[in-house]
Amino acid sequence: MELERTLIVLKPDAVARGLIGEVLTRFERAGIKLIGAKMREMDSDFTRQHYFDLEERHGAAVYAATAAFMQQGPVLAVVAEGVDVIANVRRLVGTTYPNQAAPGTIRGDFAHQSKDYSVAHNLAVANLLHASGSVDEAKYEVELWFNPADLFDYPAAADRYAVSTSDR
């Protein structure tokens, strides 16, 4: 089985609300291995690189609102690694619109802004997190945010204590 890597970005609303520890704990409790982390502010150039296709997909107003939101404070970028980690992270995060996210997901439990409110006020949805949506997107985003030296290979407890089929 191939291991995947994915990017998770705790957005300015998650950082400002003091949810970093809670959010990272959710991933770790689910057995997701975190292999790199860094806090930074996103300037306009970096925001454009990260959201390079957002304007094309959703229009200039959505891009402008998202860019302004992402630049209002620091973010924490994290790389996770594991089998099916992209799908698993997205499952834990919940749907894009917090008011539609299931209870038990990060967005369902901590973010409650609706799409209608965001659209009515020309705001980006304050939904706490970004999580890569595909293998190709994850590869691009991890390489954009992290150098190889920023990422760590270490045995997770589950790997360290797992019994292989040859040991049975």
Catalytically active residues are: 130
Q: Which of 117, 130, 132 is nearest to 14 (CA)?
A: 130
From CA 31, how far away is CA 88, in angstroms rounded? 10
Q: Which residues pair with 80 in a beta bridge?
A: 6, 34
Which residue intervals of the chain are DSSP H helices?
12-16, 20-29, 44-50, 54-58, 60-70, 85-93, 106-110, 115-120, 135-145, 157-161
